[in-house]
Amino acid sequence: MPHAPLDPAASAALIADPSGGLPRLLEIMRRLRDRDSGCPWDIEQTFATIAPCTVEEAHEVADVIARAAWDELPGELGDLLFQTVYHAQLADEAGLFDFDAVVAAICEKMILRHPHVFGDGSRDKTARQQTADWDRAKAAERGSARVLDGVALGLPGLTRAVKLQRRAARVGFDWPSTDEVLDKLLEETRELAEARKSQSAAGIEEEFGDLLFVMANLARHWEVDPEAALRAANAKFERRFRKIEDWLAVDGRHPSGSTLAEMDALWDRARAEDKAAQK
């Protein structure tokens, strides 16, 4: 059963208390979902409608870290924490579990998966060895004989591709070196070009997906986070294109009023500035 609510005076006092900490946040969440006095939007939400918000908030945390915008990080981490509180409130109302159960579950998991810290396990291991131990512990907890079970469907595509490939590699299904991966990359590029000739949208999409999957495999072999690499490439593109806009604006112009040749020349200038700044 859901937790009994505080009386109105106690609830108001807790919400108004700036030092109320986590109990204050939990009470704010409860009030937002109150059927009589809460927010109509919040009252309508379900696990399914909140899940995309949870994913979005996680990406916003990653974005702040990528930009090293440390002054923004507390707010973004708060938004992500609120997502956990939201799901726990929904579960509490449904009689499934409460926030205390969430905390207890993660505490037990951390203790179980770190015997070298909280038990008698050896700390004389590299970070890579610790990661392998972590993965084995997760596999034992799943208790499934299927190698690819438990890789979340909601992960970003490139991240999930890496995780699927890593699972398969543990049982020996992997290329021995990146030479074979690069050969496969060329093969998939040729197949994508062939699919383009056919003008089949489904065929192009399939071959494009195959090419991305091989790129994720290459990232895994080279220990590159493909999502982080793509975020960095996005940021670089934004930075350089904004310089093009700024330089055109000096002459009172907009990219829509310039030629591709002009923008290409300015892009090369922005690229050269980037390279010089990195030296």
Give the distance from CA 91 to its chain's centroid: 23
Percent of the chain having pLDDT more than 90?
Answer: 69
pLDDT at position 113: 86
Does residue 1 have a pLDDT over 70? no
pLDDT at position 255: 95
pLDDT confidence bin for 2, thresholds 50/70/90: low
* pLDDT tens readout for residues 38-47: 999 999 999 9
CB 137 within 8 A of CB 112: yes
* pLDDT tens readout for residues 108-118: 999 988 888 89
pLDDT confidence bin for 142, thresholds 50/70/90: low
Q: What is the mean pLDDT of the chain?
A: 91
CB 28 within 8 A of CB 15: yes
pLDDT confidence bin for 263, thresholds 50/70/90: very high
pLDDT at position 99: 96
Mean pLDDT of 5-19: 92
pLDDT confidence bin for 133, thresholds 50/70/90: confident
Instruction: Kindly report which listed range (40-49, 50-59, 133-142) carries the lowest average pLDDT score.
Output: 133-142
Q: What's the CA gap between 102 and 37, in Å, rounded?
A: 26
Buried b (16+ CB within 10 A) or exposed e, 3-12: eeebeeeebe
Neighbours of 142 (CB within 10 A): 11
pLDDT confidence bin for 144, thresholds 50/70/90: low
Q: What's the CA gap between 253 and 152, in Å, rounded?
A: 47
Mean pLDDT of 144-166: 87
* Locus of tokens 């065929």: 203
* pLDDT tens readout for residues 204-240: 999 999 999 999 999 999 999 999 899 889 989 999 9
